[in-house]
Amino acid sequence: MSLTRRTLLASSAAALAAPALAQTQGKVVVIGGGFGGASAARFLHRMGLEVTLIEPNAQYISCPFSNAVIAGLRDLSQQTFTYAALERQGIRLVRQMASKIDNSVRRVTLADGVMISYDRLVLAPGIDINFEALTGYDEAASNLMPHAWKVGAQTLLLRQQLEAMDDGGTVIISAPANPFRCPPGPYERASLIAWYLKNHKPKSKLLILDAKDAFSKQSLFIAAWKEIYGDRVEWIGLSGGGKVTEVKAKEKIFVTEFGEHKADVGNVIPPQRAGKIAISSGIADQTGWCPIDPVTFEAKLAPNIHVIGDACVGGGMPKSAFSANAQAKACAQAVAALLRGENPAEPKLVNTCYSLVKPDYGISVAGVYAPARGLLADVQGAGGVSAANAPASVRAAEAQYAEGWYKTITQEVFG
């Protein structure tokens, strides 16, 4: 595929001729076709903008519910979506990796050397695993001790290792310090693996080694583990010696400050950072994440570039698919306003995350966010987690609502 300046201009002229595209003009490039980027592309295009989505993969495999794939409760095909609906909508899809951003001339260079210019850029590169952060954990090690924190082959590898494990084995999951993608994710994963063990390998155990003393939905998870899984699940936090400082992948050993733990199946959820292009283009700061303006999502380190989803930081919103989708819509509104020369209105954002403790037992966390003191801050008095000591009917309802959320959001983004 080759995009020349001529074809871009031609498509621009065609776009302007279409009747729906009267008010807002401008060329927006979106990098990354996940929940954030694909949403942004759709909503921006719907507002009449010419939108190019740069995404190297023909299919998107979604992380939400992928813990159920690991536990054998779901198939990876139920997690897989295409960009056909986006292309039908009229979004130009460029199946390439974006390799460089030259913001001084507002231009993205693709891996094949083609350049695409933009008036505003929406950057949604998601996360990269930081293979330099944990001693012994590089890409080769992840083939022995999968992270399964980017969905796909890693997800299936972890599932296969669990299926191959003898009954009576020990599964160890290590969880990183904040911030990272999907804060309740490690604990949902522990829950659903424990469900698999309880049903298929009842003499086995699961240990979570955590670099934190507190985690998302903690009291709900701890209570549910005790009730459903008894002694099968053990969690060791930071102050109990849970922080993993090194892994020995060939022996499946987790090294902590307090000693060594040998696993039969080891799942290392390692430290993460914003996707590579955000780092290499200087849009992320020294923490590895991209600070943003809470009204426009414009990167503090790069004007005209808006960062949404897991790669951005700037307040209380967790790195979730729901957040990325909500941010995409608010960001699209701000980008369109800026391109019209208007001041964007202050947004209000919502996050909702469901986790499954077992297939018919769901718990949730919600939050409402608004710009305050340069951050997207929690609106006081709102949000929080599911009620403690709720009856089984409420847990079952939340498990159903999790399914409903997944159907709705994937329909909105990819359907």
The three-point CA angle 217-324-380 to 5° equals 50
Strand boundaries in 348-411, DSSP class E = 349-358, 361-372, 375-378, 384-385
Identify the burial level of 193 via C-beta atoms within 10 angstroms of its C-beta, where 0-12 means exposed, 13-18 middle and 19 or more buried.
Answer: buried
Nearer to another protein, 102 or 403 (CB): 403
Distances (CA, A) of 103 to 87, 106, 300, 312, 334: 26, 4, 13, 18, 19
Residue of the chain from 336, 356, 375, 376 that contacts another protein (CB under 8 A): 336
31: phi then psi, degrees, rounded to nearest 5: -105, 120
The minimum distance between CB 271 and another protein, in angstroms, equals 28
Nearer to another protein, 22 or 105 (CB): 22
The three-point CA angle 321-184-66 to 5° equals 60
Q: Say if CB 354 and CB 321 are below 8 A apart.
A: no
Contacting range for another protein; rule: CB under 8 A; set: 96-104, 112-120, 220-228, 320-328: 320-328
Q: Does 332 bind another protein (CB under 8 A)?
A: yes
Identify the burial level of 46 via C-beta atoms within 10 angstroms of its C-beta, where 0-12 means exposed, 13-18 middle and 19 or more buried.
Answer: middle
The helix/strand/coil state of 264 is coil
Nearer to another protein, 103 or 323 (CB): 323
DSSP H or E stretch at residue 393: helix 392-414
CA atoms within 13 A on the CB side of 14: 10
The helix/strand/coil state of 329 is helix
Contacting range for another protein; rule: CB under 8 A; set: 103-111, 134-142, 246-254, 332-340: 332-340
199-218 residues near another protein, rule: CB under 8 A = none
Q: Does 348 bind another protein (CB under 8 A)?
A: yes
The minimum distance between CB 385 and another protein, in angstroms, equals 8
Q: How many residues in the shown chain lie near another protein by CB under 8 A?
A: 49
Q: How far apart are alpha carbons 263 and 258 in whole angstroms?
A: 16
Identify the burial level of 354 via C-beta atoms within 10 angstroms of its C-beta, where 0-12 means exposed, 13-18 middle and 19 or more buried.
Answer: buried
Q: Does 415 bind another protein (CB under 8 A)?
A: yes
Nearer to another protein, 116 or 334 (CB): 334
Contacting range for another protein; rule: CB under 8 A; set: 94-102, 182-190, 219-227, 344-352: 344-352
Q: Does 25 bind another protein (CB under 8 A)?
A: no
Residue of the chain from 301, 368, 372, 377 that contacts another protein (CB under 8 A): 368
282-311 residues near another protein, rule: CB under 8 A = none
Q: Does 221 bind another protein (CB under 8 A)?
A: no
Q: Does 326 bind another protein (CB under 8 A)?
A: yes
Q: Does 377 bind another protein (CB under 8 A)?
A: no
30-89 residues near another protein, rule: CB under 8 A = 42-43, 45-47, 85, 88-89
Site residues for another protein per CB under 8 A:
24, 42-43, 45-47, 85, 88-89, 322, 325-326, 329-330, 332-333, 336, 345-350, 352, 364, 366-368, 370, 379, 381-384, 386, 394, 397-398, 400-401, 403-405, 407-409, 411-412, 415
